[in-house]
Amino acid sequence: MLLCAGLLLACSGPHSGSTKTESETTVQRVYRVQLRMTEEKTEAVQARSRATQWWKNRPASERPPIAHTGPAEASAVTIDWKPPFYRVRLGPFATRQQAEAVLQAARSVFPDAFVAPKRITNR
C-alpha cells in the first residue's frame, strides 16, 4: 500500500518547487536579415566584415535596435553555421517591419538578402 501511495505521489504532476509549466512557456518571434549564404568560411568572414562596416556607416535613424533574445551578442552581424552552409545574418529585430526596412537598404550591397524569421522559446 505504501508503494502505491509513493507511486501516486511521484506521478501526480508538477509540484510547487517545479519550473515553469508549458502554459508559462512563451514563444517570441524575432527577425534577422540574411545577407549571404556560402559553403566557404572565408567568404562568410569577408561578408560579415563588409556587412559590419555597412551597418556601422548607416545613420542611427536607419538602424533599428537589436532585440535581446539571450546572452548579449558582440555584434549585430553574425555567422550562423548549419551544415553545409555559413549564413551571414544581421539582427535580430523585434518586428518584421524593422527587418524589412533594413532589408530594403541592404539589397543595394547584398542583392540576395531576405528576412529570416526565428522562434525563440523562453522558459
Q: Averaged over 16-31, what is the pLDDT?
A: 66
pLDDT band at residue 28 using 50, 70 and 90 as cut-offs: confident
The cell numbers describing 90, all together, are 544581421
Strand 85-93 to 77-82 pairing: antiparallel
Q: According to the model, what pLDDT value does residue 121 have?
A: 76
Looking up cell 548579449 gives 72
Q: List Cβ neighbours of 35 (8 Å cut-off, separation of 6 or more).
A: 47, 51, 77, 88, 89, 90, 106, 110, 113
Q: Averaged over 95-114, what is the pLDDT?
A: 96
* Length of the chain measured in residues: 123
pTM of the model as a whole: 0.74
Long-range interactions of 20-27: CB distance < 8 A, separation 24+:
20/123, 24/123, 25/121, 25/122, 25/123, 26/121, 26/122, 27/119, 27/120, 27/121, 27/122
> What are the beta bridge partners of residue 102?
none
> Is 88 buried (19+), middle (13-18) or exposed (0-12) by CB count in 10 A?
buried
